Amino acid sequence: MSKKKTPASALTSSTKVGKSQRKPIRNNVRKLRRERKWTQWQLAQISRLSQRTIQRIERGARMGITAELALASAFEVEISELYPSAPSGKRSGMPPDGQRVQTLKRLLTGAALLDVIESGPYRFECCENHEVEEFFLQCIFAWGTLRQEIEPSERGKACQVFQTKLDELDAHGVWVFGAPASESRQDEANRNMGWIVFKRSDAPQIVQPKLLRQFGKAMCFITAPMVPLDH
pLDDT 10s digits, 145-173: 888 888 888 889 989 989 999 998 888 88
pLDDT at 39: 92
Domain extents for the chain? 25-85, 102-225
Stretch 118-131: mean pLDDT, rounded?
76
Nearest to 196 by CA among 135, 156, 136: 136
Q: How confident is the model at residue 57 (pLDDT cuts 50, 70, 90)?
A: very high
Q: What is the CA radius of gyration of the chain?
A: 22
Judge whether 87 and 198 are in contact, CB under 8 Å.
no
Measure Cα distances from 83 to 23, 32, 39, 190 in Å: 15, 10, 20, 19
Domain topology for 25-85: 434 Repressor (Amino-terminal Domain) (1.10.260)
Mean pLDDT in the chain?
77
pLDDT of residue 107: 93
This prediction's pTM: 0.61
Task: Name the E strands within 23-137.
Answer: 101-106, 122-125
Q: Are 182 and 119 in contact (CB under 8 A)?
A: yes
More confident residue, 190 or 18: 190
Q: CA end-to-end span of the chain, whole Å? A: 71
Q: Can you tell me the distance from the alpha carbon of 231 to that of 226, in angstroms, rounded to the nearest whole number?
A: 10
Q: Tell me, what's the pLDDT at 167? A: 92
> Distance (Å, rounded) from C-alpha 137 to C-alpha 133?
7
